[in-house]
C-alpha cells in the first residue's frame, strides 16, 4: 500500500487524524488518544476540519469528500456498509447488524469489525450497541454517549413529527 498523507484537526474533543491515499480518498480517521504523532502530519483540509467540528456538534454525517474502506474481509465490508446505513440518532445492536448483513449469529464478529473500523464517524460504529447497554467504543464510552446524544438531539430538531405536541390549558 502506498504511503498515506496524514492531516490533523483540532476540536474541542481533541486531535483527530485523517489518513488519505495519494488520490485523495480518505482511508482512515484516528480518534483522539488513539494515535501517536509521526511528525509528518499537516493541518487538515479546511472542508474536512469544518465537517468534523460540525459533526461533533450534531451536524451532518455526510463526509465532504471521497472515502474508501481499505482492503479487508468481505464480511467486514458488509458490516461496514450496514453500519454506514444506520441513520443518525438511531442505534442497532451487534446482533441486529449481524442479521442485517446476512450473518445471523455473528454478533461477536460484528464487534470485532467495529473494533477494527478504520473510519469511525463515517462508518458510525458508535451507533452499534450491546443488547445490555452501550458496549465498547475506541474513543471511550463518554465520547460514545456524547456522539449519540448530539445525533439524537439533531435528529429530534430536524423532525417536526418527532416533537411532542404542545398541550393547551
Selecting among 82, 125, 128, 129, the annotated active-site residue is 125
Residues 78 and 52 in one domain: no
Q: Predicted confidence band at 35 (pLDDT cuts at 50, 70, 90)? A: very high
Residues 113 and 152 in one domain: yes
Q: What is the mean pLDDT of residues 113-126?
A: 93
Task: Identify the pLDDT of residue 79.
Answer: 94
Is residue 82 among the annotated active site residues? no
What's the whole-model pTM score? 0.84
CATH number of residue 143's parent domain: 1.10.10.10
Least confident of 16-20, 52-56, 159-163: 159-163
**Is residue 66 included in any domain, yes or no?**
no
Domain count for the chain? 2
Residue 29 class from Cβ within 10 Å (0-12 exposed, 13-18 middle, 19+ buried)? buried
Residues near 42 by beta carbon (within 8 Å), at least 6 away in sequence: 5, 6, 7, 8
Q: Predicted confidence band at 168 (pLDDT cuts at 50, 70, 90)? A: very low
Residues 50 and 119 in one domain: no
Q: Predicted confidence band at 1 (pLDDT cuts at 50, 70, 90)? A: low
Domain that holds residue 149: 74-158
Amino acid at each position: 500500500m502506498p504511503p498515506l498523507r496524514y492531516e490533523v484537526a483540532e476540536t474541542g474533543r481533541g486531535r483527530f487524524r485523517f489518513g488519505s491515499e495519494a488520490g485523495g480518498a480518505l482511508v482512515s480517521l484516528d480518534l483522539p488518544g488513539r494515535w501517536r504523532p509521526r511528525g509528518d502530519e499537516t493541518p487538515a483540509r479546511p472542508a474536512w476540519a469544518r465537517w468534523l467540528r460540525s459533526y461533533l456538534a450534531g451536524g451532518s454525517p455526510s463526509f465532504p469528500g471521497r472515502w474508501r474502506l481499505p482492503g479487508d474481509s468481505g464480511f467486514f465490508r458488509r458490516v461496514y456498509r450496514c453500519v454506514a446505513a444506520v441513520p443518525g440518532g438511531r442505534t442497532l445492536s451487534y446482533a441486529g447488524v449481524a442479521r442485517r448483513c446476512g450473518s445471523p449469529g455473528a454478533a461477536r464478529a460484528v464487534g470485532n469489525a467495529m473494533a477494527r473500523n478504520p473510519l469511525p464517524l463515517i462508518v458510525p460504529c458508535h451507533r452499534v450497541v450491546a443488547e445490555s447497554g452501550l458496549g465498547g467504543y475506541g474513543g471511550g464510552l463518554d465520547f460514545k454517549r456524547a456522539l449519540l446524544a448530539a445525533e439524537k438531539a439533531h435528529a429530534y430538531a430536524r423532525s417536526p413529527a418527532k416533537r411532542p405536541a404542545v398541550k393547551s390549558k
